[in-house]
A and B are shown apart, each in its own frame.
Chain A
Amino acid sequence: MDILSKIKLLGNRIKLTPIHYFLLVVMVIIILSFLSVIKLELVVNGLIMGSIIAMGSMGLTLVYGNLKFAHIAHGDFMTLAAYIVLFILMVPLHSMGLQSTGLGPFTFGYPLLLALPFAVLIAALAAITLDVVIYRRLRDRGSSTVIIAMCSLGVAIALRGIVQVIWGGDIEQYPRLSKLYYQLPMDVRIPPDAIFITGVALISTFFLHLFLTKSKIGKAMRATADNTELARVTGINTNLVTMWTWALSAGFAAIAGVLLAVFQAQLLPSMGWSFLIPLFAAVILGGIGNPYGAFLGAMIVGVSGEVSTQWINPSYKPVIAFAILAIMLLMRPQGILGGKD
């Protein structure tokens, strides 16, 4: 306990702004890659992975901000959305004759771009329905957030079960055209879909930022996350805010799920579930309830996970995420950008 409190004290004494942290990290990466201690390629791959984690963790942190519980079913929303896209590609679009692959530099075809908005919409509607049917009832009954989180664990298992019942447990794949990796300077090779993944992530993040800072309901979401009691007595329609929170959270989870399926070139019923630890690590790293922090946290988790594979077995990547999570909770529990609680 003594050592722990000392570490915590040290963490509190160092007063660095987020910009300091960012520059520090960039500097360390550049120096290390010039000294060939780490491969720059892994850093770049980490940023791609980070983009996917960011999509998932920003949604997760929004739900925490508003409803103050850890939504354990978040990863399985990713899975569900990825499979919904698979369904749309293989059934309606396929029967309409829309089945091209290899759009431009990418492995997938334009049908995926057609299917993605539908998956986002369906995931958003599913999340709102789930809230009305389950979570809201628990809240109205005054259940503690731990009970609601445990309930979401049940929802997670149920969602995965549904996916398994419909699609089976085998590995699936979107229709794709295999392409060579792109060769960049400094021995960096990136997969063909990398630009798409980071591009979608950056654009979605930018739209989320616009939504939260410019729209009335977005500001109300921030106000509710800041102080729910005050939001209520100010007259903010907190039910409407909750609905929007779910829609955004699930929509972002859907994007994350599809991007993950594209990046890994495979779909598995457990893909979202096993993604939960990096998601939570990113959320906590950035400060719980802070979407900008979650984005930054996601990049850090993504890069450190990929870079670690230079020395350790890639199957231990979640361990790195978990270690980051534990160290962060000890040293700076409020997160890099300082969220709530």
Chain B
Amino acid sequence: MNLLNIAKITAGYGDTEILHKVSLNIDKRELVTVVGPNGSGKSTLMKTILGIVKPTKGNITFQGESIAGTPTQEIVRNGISYVPQAYNVFTSLSIIENLEMGAFINSGDPSKKISEVLELFPDLVDKRKVKAGYLSGGQRQMLALARALMLNPAILLLDEPTAGLAPMMIEAVFEKIQLINSSGMAILLIEQNAREALKISNRAYVLAAGHNQLDGKGKDLLNNPEVARLYLGG
């Protein structure tokens, strides 16, 4: 049984259909990447998984149960954490408060979990009282990752976590993603830096114009001349 199974989903905004019968699945401990050109429906796919966009056709099951049409909060509670591409930290809240909000649905004191998560992100420890709005782009991205980890999710959805970052920061973010994945957490990743992402992925899907184009092992797609020509810039 797959951890998350998306079966022939059709979804969009209003009358505009963006995803056409898209299918995708991800197993426990897997790192799966979705690549594709701008406007191919990658972000919409994630929003559909989270229930922000309601699918009109098809089904989504998580740990064997259908979650299509379930409210976002419930989906998050079931163990799916999401890091949006932009505006992914509460800028007027301190780092600590951001992490506390990450654990909102858990009752009880989050401070133990916070120090556990911060061990993964040593750069943030000294700045725990600093408002997130004062952080650099890379630090914000790290905080957003940390916030998503607060719930101990079964799967982490990351929407272009390296967008707009300096090359060194991109490398650091990929390292963290691998580290998180190696701890046993499944990760669904959308990436612009497709070449880097495919290198670290177990499997990958290529999406174009809202349709499944290709899927396969990360390394296979990396060596696929057609993928290289179309999406990896030759």
A interface list, Cβ under 8 A from B = 216, 219-220, 222-223, 225-227, 229-238
Instruction: State which of B69-77, B180-188, B201-209, B225-233 sits at the interface with chain A.
Output: B69-77
- A226 adjacent to B90 (CB under 8 Å): yes
- A223 adjacent to B73 (CB under 8 Å): no
Q: Mark B95-109, 1 if CB is under 8 A from A, else 0.
A: 001101110110000
- A223 adjacent to B76 (CB under 8 Å): no
CB of B54, distance to nearest CB on chain A (Å): 13
CB neighbours of A231 from chain B (8 A): 90, 101
CB neighbours of A229 from chain B (8 A): 84, 87
- B88 adjacent to A230 (CB under 8 Å): yes
Asked whether B92 is an interface residue with its Cβ less than 8 Å from the other chain, the reply is: yes
- B88 adjacent to A232 (CB under 8 Å): no
Task: Give how many A-B residue pairs fall within 8 Å (CB-CB).
Answer: 62
- A232 adjacent to B72 (CB under 8 Å): yes
In the complex the two chains form, what is the Cα distance from A226 to B93 in whole Å?
8
- B87 adjacent to A235 (CB under 8 Å): no
What residue in chain A is nearest B102 (Cβ atoms)?
A: A234
CB neighbours of A227 from chain B (8 A): 87, 90-91
- Known A-B contacts A230-B87, A230-B90, A233-B50; A223 and B82 likewise in contact (beta carbons under 8 Å): no
In the complex the two chains form, what is the Cα distance from A233 to B84 in whole Å?
9
CB neighbours of A219 from chain B (8 A): 93, 97, 100-101
- Subset of 14 A-B contacts with CB under 8 Å: A220-B104, A223-B93, A223-B97, A223-B98, A223-B101, A225-B92, A226-B91, A229-B87, A230-B84, A234-B102, A234-B104, A235-B73, A235-B105, A235-B151
CB neighbours of B93 from chain A (8 A): 219, 222-223, 226
CB neighbours of B101 from chain A (8 A): 219-220, 223, 231, 234, 236
In the complex the two chains form, what is the Cα distance from A40 to B21 in whole Å?
73
- B104 adjacent to A236 (CB under 8 Å): yes
CB neighbours of A223 from chain B (8 A): 90, 93, 97-98, 101
- Which residue from B82, B84, B91, B104 sits with its C-beta under 8 Å from A216? B104
Asked whether B120 is an interface residue with its Cβ less than 8 Å from the other chain, the reply is: no
Which 8 interchain pairs have the tightest Cβ spacing? A235-B76, A235-B105, A226-B90, A223-B90, A236-B104, A223-B101, A226-B92, A233-B82
In the complex the two chains form, what is the Cα distance from A225 to B102 in whole Å?
16
- A234 adjacent to B87 (CB under 8 Å): no
What residue in chain B is nearest A236 (Cβ atoms)?
A: B104
Asked whether B147 is an interface residue with its Cβ less than 8 Å from the other chain, the reply is: yes
In the complex the two chains form, what is the Cα distance from A220 to B102 in whole Å?
10
- A233 adjacent to B87 (CB under 8 Å): no
The listed residue with most B CB atoms (<10 A of its CB), out of A229, A232, A234, is: A234
**Can you add 9 more A-B contacts, CB < 8 Å, to A222-B92, A231-B101, A233-B52?**
A220-B104, A226-B93, A229-B84, A230-B84, A233-B82, A234-B101, A234-B104, A235-B77, A235-B151
CB neighbours of A220 from chain B (8 A): 101, 104
In the complex the two chains form, what is the Cα distance from A219 to B132 in whole Å?
14
CB of B74, distance to nearest CB on chain A (Å): 9
CB of B134, distance to nearest CB on chain A (Å): 13
CB neighbours of B82 from chain A (8 A): 233
From 79 to 127 in chain B, residues with beta carbon under 8 angstroms from any chain A beta carbon are 82, 84, 87-93, 97-98, 100-102, 104-105
CB neighbours of A216 from chain B (8 A): 100, 104
- B72 adjacent to A233 (CB under 8 Å): yes
In the complex the two chains form, what is the Cα distance from A232 to B77 in whole Å?
11
- B92 adjacent to A237 (CB under 8 Å): no
In the complex the two chains form, what is the Cα distance from A60 to B77 in whole Å?
32
What residue in chain A is nearest B106 (Cβ atoms)?
A: A235
What residue in chain B is nearest A233 (Cβ atoms)?
A: B82
What residue in chain A is nearest B150 (Cβ atoms)?
A: A234
CB neighbours of B100 from chain A (8 A): 216, 219
CB neighbours of A237 from chain B (8 A): 73, 104-105
In the complex the two chains form, what is the Cα distance from A219 to B88 in whole Å?
17
